[in-house]
Amino acid sequence: EAQVTQNPRYLITVTGKKLTVTCSQNMNHEYMSWYRQDPGLGLRQIYYSMNVEVTDKGDVPEGYKVSRKEKRNFPLILESPSPNQTSLYFCASSSLQGRNSPLHFGNGTRLTVT
Amino acid sequence: AQSVTQLGSHVSVSEGALVLLRCNYSSSVPPYLFWYVQYPNQGLQLLLKYTSAATLVKGINGFEAEFKKSETSFHLTKPSAHMSDAAEYFCAVAAERGYQKVTFGTGTKLQVIP
């Protein structure tokens, strides 16, 4: 089954404790992206990657890091989480074969930073 | 810069009534437009997409949307609401960065009253 898998689904942590949220897709998609969803703000892009070893900042990259060492994986790293990073995070992927390729989303990771 | 405005963060309709969710966009080049749906505790799923082939686009679950360039709108409609349509709906535009940058609206939660 074609899917984007994020782990964990729920994460509670404390300020300053480094964490990683994993994302993996099995559709051989070139494009992968991270979004955060906050009430009243919709989805905002954090980082995106057009292919292996190619990453770039989205609209709200501060406090986040990503890497793309393999095509299927795109982990999101919070080196020193803060309470304002409490949010619902989504990983998404799409093919770059055709401009109208839709995004495929994971089921989300709800992060709470205390 | 491209942007999307969704009018009404919450919309309530009676079961069997017309569903109308409003979306207006802004972009400097002809855009691709999407509607995504998010059910509770899930990621977003593509409902339909406009890619300049036809101005009236049909999607899944009986939804459709009409692209009106003169009004810069892409409103989502369904003739008869079902209880299962209760979800959050996001309009999205892709125009910048070779159509790879996707900007989402703030979402509209649809409540269906029995």
Give A12-34 pLDDT, tens digit per residue: 999 999 999 999 999 999 999 99
Q: What is the pLDDT of residue A98?
A: 65
DSSP 8-state assignment for residue A73 = B
Tell me the per-residue pLDDT of A48-93, one tens digit each, with 9 for 90 and over.
Answer: 998 999 999 999 999 999 999 999 999 999 999 999 999 999 999 9
Cβ-contact A35, A59 below 8 angstroms: no
Task: Identify which of A87, A85, A70, A82 has the alpha carbon closest to the alpha carbon of residue A23.
Answer: A70
* Whole-angstrom distance, CA of residue B104 vs CA of residue B114: 30
The percent of residues above 90 in pLDDT, for chain B, comes to 75
DSSP 8-state assignment for residue A67 = -
Tell me the per-residue pLDDT of A91-113, one tens digit each, with 9 for 90 and over.
Answer: 999 987 666 788 999 999 999 99
Mutate to test the interface with B, among A23, A105, A107 (most CBs of B within 10 A): A105
Q: What is the mean pLDDT of residues B69-77?
A: 95
Q: Which of B32, B94, B104 sits opposite A43 (nearest CB)?
A: B104
- pLDDT range class, residue A2, cuts 50, 70, 90: confident
* Whole-angstrom distance, CA of residue A52 vs CA of residue B109: 36
Tell me the per-residue pLDDT of B39-55, one tens digit each, with 9 for 90 and over.
Answer: 988 899 999 999 877 88
CB contacts < 8 A (A, B): 54
Ramachandran sector of residue A69 (left: φ over 0; alpha: ψ -120 to 50; beta: rest): alpha
Q: What is the pLDDT of residue B100?
A: 73
Given a cut of 90, whether residue B95 has pLDDT beyond it is no
Task: Identify which of B19, B7, B27, B20 has the alpha carbon closest to the alpha carbon of residue B69.
Answer: B27
On chain A, the residues whose CB falls within 8 A of the CB of B99 are 99-100
What would the two tokens of residue B33 be? 């437009």
